[in-house]
Amino acid sequence: MTSAVTHSEPIVSKVTPAFNILSFLSEKRHSRHHTQAGIHAFVQGVMEGSVTDYQASAWLMAVCCNGLSLDETAWLTEAYVDSGERLDVSALMGNGLGPVVDKHSTGGVGDKTTLVLLPVLAACGAQVVKLSGRGLGFTGGTIDKLEAIPGFHTALDNAALISQTAQLGLALSSQTPNLAPADGTLYALRDVTSTVDSIPLIAASVVSKKIASGAPTIVLDIKVGLGAFMKTLEEARQLAEWCRAVGQRLGRSIATVISSMEEPLGYAIGHTLEVMETIDTLKGQGPKDLVALTVELGAVTLFSAGVETSLDAAKARIQAVLNNGDAYALFERWVSAQGGDVEAIRNTNQLPQAKNQLPLLAATSGTIAGVDALLVAQAAKMLGAGRTKKEDVLDLSVGVIVHKKVGECITAGEPWATLYANTQGVEEAQQLLSQALSISVGEVTLPSLILETCLPDSITPNMIFKALDESH
C-alpha cells in the first residue's frame, strides 16, 4: 500500500482561489503537494459535478501511486467532513453524565464488539453516541445484527440520538448519507477503479466519519489478518499511525487498538447467533477472546476520555460491570428504549431461528492450528448472512458456530463447527468450511489477539516525518 509521508507546512486557514482541475491533476501526477484550498475545491467540485467521475478517478490513481502528505490527508478529511452534516453533541458536553466517546472497527468476522461495548461504556460512566452501518460483503454490520431483535428501531434522528444518550448514556442509529457524503461518493469510485488500498485515503475515510459523528474521544479497532482488509501488521500499524496523526491535526483524540482477525472473534458468526453471544458476554459468560477485546477497547476509551486514571483501573471497572450485571441491565434498557422486544433477548428462542443445524466433523485428531476467518465468513454469506449488493435482503437466522479455537484439542469425528441454515447455499458453505480448519499433530503456538495498543499521543516521529518511499 502506498502511504508516502513528507514534511509539510502547518495547516492554514481556508481560501478559495480559482480552481483548475487539470492543474490539480498535474500536481499529484508529478508528486507535488496540493494546497488546502485546492483539496477543498476538488472535493466541492466532485459533489457539485463540475469534477467528472473520470477526473476524480484519475486523481485517486495518482494518489495511490504518489501518496499524500499528512497535511494533505488532514485537509482531505476536513473537506469530507465539510461536505455534509455534523452530529452536534454539544448538549451532552458538561451535562455531568460523563464524556462523549465513540468507537469504530474496520470490520471482522464475528465482530459483535460494538453490541457488547456500548452498554459496558455507559455502565462505566461514559456517554456513547454511535452511528453504524450495514454490512456489504461477508456478514452484516452492527445495524443488521441489532435488527435480529424484533422491533429494534435503528433509524433515529439527531434529536432522538442526543435525547436518548442524555437519558440512558448510549444511543445508536444507522448512518445518515448526509454524514461526510463526499467520502461515500469517492469511495464508490475507489471500489471500481482499484484505488481502495491507499492508507491516506483509508485514513481520511475512517476519520472523517468519526469527526462528523461528533464525539471528542474516538477509539479505532483496526483488524488485521485473513478476515480483515489489512492483511499485514505493518499495514495495520501504518493505518493506525495515520488515523491518530490526522485526528491530532483536526483536534480529535484518537486511540488505536490493532487486533487479530486470523480466526473468528468469539464463536458465533451470523446475526441472531451474534446477538445471543452478546447476551452471554454481558452476563459474564462470554468467549475469552471477545471479553478480552471488549476489556481492552473499553479501557483505552475510558482512560483516553479521563474516566479512569489508569488502564488497569479501567480494565477492572469494565470487568466488574460485566460480572455484576450492570452492563446487561443497561443492554435491556437500551433495547427497550429503541423499541426492541426485551422478552426476545430474555428468551432468545423468540429471535429469528434457522430451520437446520448441521454439524461439521473433524476428519482427524490433533490440535487446532487454524480456523480461516475469511472462509468462515464466506460460508456464512453463502447461507444468506451477507450481501453482494446493498439491496440484498439478509437472512438474520443463519450463520456458523465455531466450537473450537486455535490451540484447543479435537478428536476425529468430533464437531468443530455447526451450520445454522435454511435452504440457501448449504453445499457451498460446507465446501468452504471443509477448507477452513487446520489440524496439527504437534504443538501449536497460541495466537495473540491484541497486537498493539496506542493512545492518542502515541505518534511515531519516524512514521510521520520520514517518507516511506523516497521516490515519491
For the domain that residue 75 is a member of, what is the CATH number?
1.20.970.10
On whether both 100 and 196 belong to a single domain, the answer is yes
307 Cα distance to chain centroid: 23
Collapsing DSSP states into helix, strand and coil, what is residue 62?
helix
Q: At what angle do helices 181-192 and 53-66 cross, to 10 degrees?
A: 80
On whether both 207 and 120 belong to a single domain, the answer is yes
Out of 54, 69, 84, pick the residue that ends a domain: 84
Residue 375 belongs to a domain with what CATH number? Answer: 3.90.1170.30
Residue 137, pLDDT score: 56
Q: Specify if 6 maps to a domain.
A: no
Q: At what angle do helices 326-337 and 113-123 cross, to 10 degrees?
A: 110
Q: Specify if 394 maps to a domain.
A: yes
What is the rounded CA–CA span in Å between residue 248 and residue 250? 5
Q: How many CB atoms lie within 10 A of CB 353?
A: 14
Residue 471, pLDDT score: 27
Q: Helices (H) and strands (E) in the chain — how many of each?
A: 18, 13
On whether both 297 and 356 belong to a single domain, the answer is no
On whether both 381 and 258 belong to a single domain, the answer is no
User: What DSSP character marks residue 445?
Assistant: P
- By annotation, the residues acting in catalysis are 104, 183, 190, 205, 209
Q: How many CB atoms lie within 10 A of CB 449?
A: 17
Out of 84, 99, 123, pick the residue that ends a domain: 84
Domain count across the chain: 3
Range of the domain at 426: 352-440
Give the amino acid at 12.
V
- Biggest alpha carbon distance in the chain? 71
Q: Specify if 9 maps to a domain.
A: no
C-beta of residue 156 within 8 angstroms of C-beta of residue 58:
no
On whether both 229 and 295 belong to a single domain, the answer is yes
Q: Specify if 229 maps to a domain.
A: yes
297 Cα distance to chain centroid: 12
pLDDT along the chain (472 residues), means of 10: 42 59 96 96 96 96 95 96 92 86 90 95 94 66 91 92 94 85 89 87 93 92 90 94 94 94 95 97 96 97 94 96 96 97 96 96 96 94 82 89 96 97 94 95 91 76 35 30
Out of 84, 106, 127, pick the residue that ends a domain: 84
Q: Specify if 446 maps to a domain.
A: no
Of all helices (H) and strands (E), which one includes residue 103? strand 100-105
On whether both 179 and 221 belong to a single domain, the answer is yes
Residue 135, pLDDT score: 60
Q: Specify if 373 maps to a domain.
A: yes
Q: Specify if 4 maps to a domain.
A: no
What is the rounded CA–CA span in Å between residue 17 and residue 268? 54
Residue 6, pLDDT score: 37
Q: How many CB atoms lie within 10 A of CB 326?
A: 17
